[in-house]
């Protein structure tokens, strides 16, 4: 293990390091031999680290702090890290309204005085709020010791936490980092020390960027310092830092996340880490655009847009429509198999379209139930069930698709019992034919969980979710849905908020990583907001429902009734007549006001309106089929 470098040497060492980098490699050793011994030895260690031949030596003085010591309103618990500018302690707040809060307390080393700089920057840094930036809670000085209280994150560095995960998941997490950096750049704050060790993935799956603005704050208070392996060339030369400096650091983070060979991503990394800042991505937005290009199989700016490259991207984007042509061109068995799979998918889609069209074509106006279209549709669905049975032996894929559609239609018609029966049949058939490990079986099982929960059949829902738990992958959309369903089951079984909130957080982590635009993502934020509101945490509840509303408008699929429920819930937290009006408009254009899942939020809305305008409240109650205002006693 390398001997720690005395921080008192840093001003001289930093200047010598800059000078050494300007000397050709073949002349550097002779130059080093002429340096004072106290500088030459640590300088050699720094240069080896810079060249990637060794780890960065520690620049850490012995700690003067002790466990149990009070610093400001905090009591130190244990030392959790140290670097060239500061050491970090886990600490507990012991006074003030947030007593008991666990924080990471950063204690700059002697000489790293914050003084005027802290007062100048504190308001800016304290006001920087982003879901992927660890917050600076407080700052001060105690008997000459500056301190910074930061949000405590229990997690691992991003490259370790995501090692072995699918490439798409790693890139989505990296986009969260980019969004955090973009947020701070918009507020004229640079990080200047972006590296994997400063980006943690918490136990809840959320990415958190540490020290945003703190690095700049500490750098400015003493000698210029940096991490040699992660510092941009202009940083090492002592030049002014710009957005391009952080782009360089982000390129290094991406390289740690994507160690495998990937042509487009390696070109993106090379551009982000170009020696000349002018050759890098212009800003974080441009880097994010290249990452989205990789995810969407579109050309990236870091590669020349040759006709061959553009064609390769196009073929990847259009791989399903072009499978038949690919089979003819390539003549390989794999392509033929894929083409056959595509034909089966097309046959299923065509059968589904014909099925729905045929249903509505055969709604006979002369039939006895012609005046009751819902009853007529149920009758026709029952008649079509025999056709599905006939398809099962010869075309089980198409039969499965029609079973799914029929179950969904019965659900929309309010026939939960029939929908549930069809869902159970479909799940049983898929489990017997494909096994629990197949994605279609798992999706069918999760689809069945919701009607079981709606029917408050906790034993059946619990048995189903337990069975699925052993088969589902740990990541992906189906696991996100499983966590949400498991929360709903535990709520049905009477679990308290302390047990249920971590389940929702698990679901949110999976949605954010694997399916950020799925409609379930917004629905889970609403569930969390409802839980927080019931616990009296109004501010948290408002923040969560606002997250839901930000997601729902672009959700896939967009569900108007979900959007309306979120608006109604928000209106229950704050006086928001606009939200109420928009919610009612959405409901009148979709499910109407009499759906069972709307009774609770509409009752609350009617009660609020009774206090302001009893006549309007009574009219709304009549439309929704609910009791109106109670008569005065």
pLDDT at res. 313: 53
What distances in angstroms separate CA 411 from CA 111, 419, 420, 492, one per listed residue? 69, 5, 8, 21
CB 503 within 8 A of CB 479: no
Residue keyed to tokens 């880097």: 287
pLDDT at res. 271: 92
Q: Where is the domain boundary, 469, 503, 536?
A: 469
pTM over 0.85: no
pLDDT at res. 379: 64
Residue 452 lies in a domain: yes
Average pLDDT, stretch 320-340?
40
CA distance 12 to 160: 35
Instruction: Check whether residue 437 and residue 382 sit in a common domain.
Output: yes
- 3-state secondary structure at position 357: helix
Which of 628, 632, 630, 612 has its CA nearest to residue 620? 628
pLDDT at res. 427: 86
The token pair that represents 526 in the structure block: 């609403």
pLDDT at res. 62: 55
- Higher pLDDT: 291 or 16? It is 291
> Residue 91: which domain range?
70-151
What pLDDT band is residue 633 in, cutting at 50, 70 and 90?
A: very low
Q: Where is the domain boundary, 125, 151, 177?
A: 151
383 sits in the region (left: phi over 0; alpha: psi -120 to 50; else beta) called alpha
pLDDT at res. 5: 58
What pLDDT band is residue 114 in, cutting at 50, 70 and 90?
A: low
Residue 609 lies in a domain: no
Q: Residue 106 annotated as binding? A: yes
Which of 415, 338, 412, 418 has its CA nearest to residue 590? 412
For residue range 456-495, list pLDDT tens digits in order. Answer: 899 999 999 999 998 998 888 889 999 999 999 999 999 9
Instruction: Check whether residue 94 and residue 145 sit in a common domain.
Output: yes
Instruction: Check whether residue 133 and residue 99 sit in a common domain.
Output: yes
Count other Cβ atoms within 10 Å, centred on residue 261. 7
Report the domain count for the chain.
5
CA distance 202 to 518: 22
Instruction: Check whether residue 441 and residue 377 sit in a common domain.
Output: yes
**Can you give the CATH number for the domain in which 275 is found?**
1.10.510.10
Average pLDDT for the chain: 76
pLDDT at res. 70: 92
Residue 449 lies in a domain: yes
Average pLDDT, stretch 135-163?
85
For residue range 115-127, list pLDDT tens digits in order. Answer: 445 554 555 566 6
pLDDT at res. 337: 35
pLDDT at res. 380: 61
**Which run of H or E residues covers position 141?**
strand 136-142
What pLDDT band is residue 609 in, cutting at 50, 70 and 90?
A: confident
Average pLDDT, stretch 183-189?
80
Instruction: Check whether residue 430 and residue 461 sit in a common domain.
Output: yes
Residue 235 lies in a domain: yes
Count other Cβ atoms within 10 Å, centred on residue 627. 11
The three state secondary structure string of 142-166 is ECCEEEEEEECCCEEEHHHHCCCCC
What pLDDT band is residue 596 in, cutting at 50, 70 and 90?
A: confident
CB 224 within 8 A of CB 238: yes
Instruction: Check whether residue 300 and residue 433 sit in a common domain.
Output: no
CA distance 241 to 234: 7
Average pLDDT, stretch 324-352?
44
Residue 35 lies in a domain: yes
Residue 19 lies in a domain: yes
Instruction: Check whether residue 410 and residue 464 sit in a common domain.
Output: yes
- 3-state secondary structure at position 88: strand
Average pLDDT, stretch 287-295?
86
Instruction: Check whether residue 192 and residue 268 sit in a common domain.
Output: yes
pLDDT exceeds cutoff 70 at 74:
yes
pLDDT exceeds cutoff 50 at 222:
no
Instruction: Check whether residue 280 and residue 372 sit in a common domain.
Output: no
Residue 372 lies in a domain: yes
Classify residue 556 by its DSSP letter: B
pLDDT at res. 301: 81
Residue 247 lies in a domain: yes
Query: What is the percent of the chain with per-residue pLDDT over 70, rounded to a whole number?
Result: 71
Q: Which range among 54-63, 327-336, 417-426, 561-570 shows the weakest confidence by mean pLDDT?
A: 327-336
- Cβ-proximal residues to 488 (8 Å cutoff; 6+ apart), any chain: 453, 527
- Higher pLDDT: 576 or 307? It is 576
Instruction: Check whether residue 395 and residue 303 sit in a common domain.
Output: no
pLDDT at res. 600: 85
Q: In the chain, count H helices and then E strands.
A: 27, 9
pLDDT exceeds cutoff 70 at 364:
no
**Which run of H or E residues covers position 324?**
helix 323-330
Instruction: Check whether residue 237 and residue 279 sit in a common domain.
Output: yes
Q: Where is the domain boundary, 408, 434, 469?
A: 469
For residue range 82-96, list pLDDT tens digits in order. Answer: 665 678 888 999 887
Instruction: Check whether residue 11 and residue 45 sit in a common domain.
Output: yes
């Amino acid at each position: 293990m390398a001997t720690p470098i005395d921080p008192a040497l840093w001003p001289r060492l930093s200047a010598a390091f800059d000078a050494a980098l300007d000397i050709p490699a073949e002349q550097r050793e002779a130059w080093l031999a002429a340096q004072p011994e106290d500088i030459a030895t640590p300088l050699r260690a720094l240069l080896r680290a810079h060249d990637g031949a060794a780890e960065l030596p520690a620049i850490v003085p012995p700690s003067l702090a002790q466990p149990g010591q009070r610093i400001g309103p905090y009591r130190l618990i244990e030392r959790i890290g140290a670097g060239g500018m500061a050491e970090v302690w886990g600490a507990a707040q012991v006074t003030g309204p947030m007593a008991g809060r666990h924080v990471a307390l950063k204690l700059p080393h002697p000489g790293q005085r914050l003084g005027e700089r802290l007062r100048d920057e504190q308001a800016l840094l304290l006001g920087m709020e982003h879901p992927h930036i660890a917050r600076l809670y407080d700052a001060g000085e105690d008997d000459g010791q500056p301190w910074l209280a930061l949000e405590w994150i229990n997690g691992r560095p991003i490259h370790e936490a995501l090692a072995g995960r699918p490439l798409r998941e790693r890139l989505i997490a990296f986009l969260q980092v980019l969004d955090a950096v973009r947020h701070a750049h918009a507020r004229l704050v640079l990080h200047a020390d972006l590296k994997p060790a400063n980006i943690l993935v918490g136990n809840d799956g959320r990415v958190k960027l540490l020290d945003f603005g703190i690095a700049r704050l500490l750098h400015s208070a003493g000698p210029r310092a940096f991490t040699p392996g992660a510092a941009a060339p202009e940083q090492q030369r002592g030049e002014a830092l710009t957005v391009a400096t952080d782009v360089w650091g982000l390129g290094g983070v991406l390289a740690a996340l994507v160690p495998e060979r990937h042509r487009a991503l390696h070109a993106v990394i090379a551009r982000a880490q170009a020696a000349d800042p002018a050759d890098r991505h212009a800003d974080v937005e441009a880097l994010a655009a290249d990452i989205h290009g990789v995810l969407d199989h579109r050309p990236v700016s870091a590669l020349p847009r040759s006709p061959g490259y553009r064609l390769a991207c196009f073929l990847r984007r259009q791989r399903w429509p072009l499978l038949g042509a690919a089979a003819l061109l390539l003549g390989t068995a794999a392509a033929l198999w894929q083409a056959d799979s595509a034909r089966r998918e097309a046959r299923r889609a065509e059968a589904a379209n014909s099925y729905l069209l045929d249903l509505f074509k055969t709604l006979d106006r002369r039939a006895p139930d012609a005046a009751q279209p819902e009853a007529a549709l149920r009758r026709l669905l029952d008649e079509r069930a025999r056709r599905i049975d006939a398809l099962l032996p010869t075309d089980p894929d198409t039969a499965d698709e029609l079973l799914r559609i029929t179950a969904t239609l019965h659900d929309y018609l309010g026939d939960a019992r029939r929908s549930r029966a069809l869902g159970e049949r479909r799940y049983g058939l898929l489990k017997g034919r494909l096994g629990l490990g197949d994605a279609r079986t798992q999706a069918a099982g999760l689809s069945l969980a919701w009607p079981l929960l709606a029917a408050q059949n906790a034993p059946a829902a619990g048995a189903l979710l337990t069975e699925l738990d052993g088969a589902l992958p740990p990541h992906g959309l189906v696991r996100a849905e499983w966590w949400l369903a498991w929360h709903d089951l535990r709520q049905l079984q009477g679990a308290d908020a302390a047990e249920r909130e971590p389940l929702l957080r698990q679901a949110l982590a999976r949605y954010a990583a694997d399916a950020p635009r799925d409609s379930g993502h917004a629905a889970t934020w609403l569930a969390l907001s409802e839980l927080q509101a019931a616990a009296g945490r109004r501010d948290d509840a408002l923040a969560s429902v606002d997250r839901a509303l930000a997601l729902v408008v672009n959700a896939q699929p967009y569900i108007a009734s979900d959007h309306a429920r979120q608006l109604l819930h928000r209106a229950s937290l704050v006086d928001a007549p606009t939200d109420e009006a928009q919610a009612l408009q959405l409901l009148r254009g979709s499910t109407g006001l009499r759906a069972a899942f709307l009774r609770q939020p509409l009752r609350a809305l009617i009660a609020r309106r009774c206090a302001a305008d009893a006549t309007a409240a009574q009219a709304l109650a009549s439309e929704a089929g609910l009791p109106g205002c109670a008569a005065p006693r």
